Amino acid sequence: MFIFDFFRKKKKLDQPWEKFYTDEDLKYKIPNISIYRQVKESAEKYPKNVAIQYLGKKINYNQFMQKIDIAAKGFYAMGIKKGDIVTILLPNVPEALISLYALNKLGAIANMTHPLSAEEEIKETLISTRSQYLIIYDARYEKIEPFINDIEMNKVIFVSPGDSLGFFKRTFYNISQLKKFKHHPKSHIFISWRKFFKESIRKDDFKSHEFGRDMPCVILHSGGTSGKSKNVVIQNRAFIFAAKGEEIDLIRLNPGDSALAIMPNFHGFGLSVLMHTPLALGCSTILVPKFDSKKFDTLFKKTKPTCVLGVPTLFEALSNSNNEKNLDLSFLKYVVSGGDLLPKNLEDKINNYFREHNSNARITQGYGLSEALACVTLAHDHVNKSGSVGIPLAGNHVKIIDPATRKKVPYGETGEIVIHSKALMMGYLNEEAETNEALQVHDDGHVWLHTGDLGYMDEDGFLFYKGRIKRMIITSGYNVYPSHIEEVIESHPAVLQCSVVGVPHPYKQEVPKAFVVLKDGFHGLFVKKDIKDHCKKNLAKYMIPNEIVIRKKLPKTKLGKVDFNKLKEDFDGDEE
């Protein structure tokens, strides 16, 4: 069977969208380089261009590469080598990207993790990835203090958001943070970023190896189609391919332009589209460590980005903001909405806002997921249909299938979205069964990623996203999996059963709501606060249920399963 599969001839795939590309675009071959090499080549072309903008400070490509190479020396001296997994738990600060590329230079893998992760989530990601090195925001020490001495760790590097600021801003920031959080004690495994960097400057240079496109470089996190959190292993080739694909589509982005990175570095869209791609093209990425949607217009005025990508709720916040009078957005050229459906009325509202503020930009949509490095389809002004999430990037293939039979359905018919791409993940780390479920060989001989998402494609190749097959909740652009929240709540000693659904929210789109049945002898009046505290300890902030409702029983379908539709309708029978 293996020999048959290996030699099976692969069928040519339909590409109704190919008319929007040139033959050269469609035949693009990924060079055999690493993401470190791709950014270094960009720096060699545009050494004086601004690579990073951070709270008013600008770092050009020459300076950026120097910092990367110094950090690489320090990591090498620590003993980090090819294949090692290093966990990065930072907001959008320069040190996150410096670490990413320095590790890539060594052939190590960056495990990009949410900086607001709960204590148990941090412990789990360190153990599941076998990370012996951690780079973490200094204010998060309390989250690792309870367990850090109980697991095998070689070094923990603490980064302050003030580290990359100038002397006066850094001093002011440090004063403002006095006594606001618990600082790490002196220990041989703990070191501050500034001390680490200062010591790294004095380290001897090492002979570095050239790593190619097939080397794993990043771990992202996804619930896949099952909802269970998984470590998604991404190769260099995915970032390199995505940068080229976005260069073809984002034809108005030129060296010197800038992208506003309001999406976080642990998110595929944020890391790939708003950080690596600009750096691969000689543009700059504007890092926003803490985004305030209520001051979106002020941020635009200060940073003047060429390109911005965000979730629909953020753009709605922009259209409702009124902090800046006579705001001029003429610098804004490209705006993409992703992560959730963009309603037509909101699309029109945002486009009107841009026109009223002197921008010719029109909001378009994109579609993707971590397993295909975020961006799979994209639209722009000249290749766009209202309501669609665009066409596949050059080299990507999308088809719609019947989930039960895996047969392709006709254009216009809704089914499961599946993807074939050079940017597909290697797989889920140490999860062979789940990897095989997600990546499947079809009768055409190609490997397809099964997304668990619903949509349809028209005859021109435009994809229309229709929602999720399973119960995943999207809150402010973050994917939240009810099964994970249920597992945490049901680990509380008072809880017998829990079911979580997404309910509408005026700003966040959806928020989790938990329905809980207690064990005999417990009463909601006394334990609800305790359950909430349990969630705060074991769940990231955006996963914590907006409301916890105690019930004597949960509604059931005729098959005896929990009736989630009734729960969404705010089932109110037998309330305790």
Q: In tens digits, what is the pLDDT along the chain, a chain of 576 residues?
A: 333 444 456 788 889 999 998 888 888 889 999 999 999 999 999 999 999 999 999 999 999 999 999 999 999 999 999 999 999 999 999 999 999 999 999 999 999 999 988 899 999 999 999 999 999 999 899 999 999 999 989 999 999 988 888 777 777 767 777 667 778 888 999 999 999 999 999 998 888 888 999 999 999 998 655 556 799 999 999 999 988 866 655 546 789 999 999 989 998 889 999 999 999 999 999 999 988 888 899 999 999 999 998 888 788 888 888 888 889 999 998 898 887 778 777 888 899 999 999 999 899 999 999 999 878 999 887 888 988 999 998 889 999 999 888 899 999 998 899 999 988 999 999 999 999 999 999 998 999 999 988 889 999 999 998 877 777 788 888 878 787 898 899 899 999 889 899 998 888 889 999 999 998 889 877 799 999 999 999 999 999 999 999 998 888 765 456 787 788 876 444 445
CB contact at 8 A, 213 and 244: no
The secondary structure of residue 275, as a DSSP letter, is I
CA distance 573 to 553: 8
Report the distance separating Cα 427 and Cα 440, nearest Å: 11
Rounded to whole angstroms, what are the CA distances from 538 to 118, 490, 534? 5, 12, 6
Residue 493 Cα distances to 283, 412, 521, 524, 549, angstroms: 53, 49, 11, 13, 17
Extract the runs of DSSP E, i.e. beta strands, from 23-146: 50-54, 57-60, 85-89, 109-112, 133-137
Q: What is the dihedral of CA 118, 121, 122, 124, to 10 degrees?
A: 160
- In a 3-state reduction of DSSP, which class is residue 137? strand
**Backbone CA torsion sign across 183, 186, 190, 194:** positive
Alpha carbons 59 and 284: distance in angstroms, whole number: 9
Q: What pTM, to 2 d.p., does this model score? A: 0.83
Domains plus CATH for the chain?
A: 2-17+396-468 (2.30.38.10), 35-378 (3.40.50.12780), 473-568 (3.30.300.30)
Compute CA distances 468 → 35, 340, 397, 451, 503, whole Å.
32, 10, 20, 9, 15
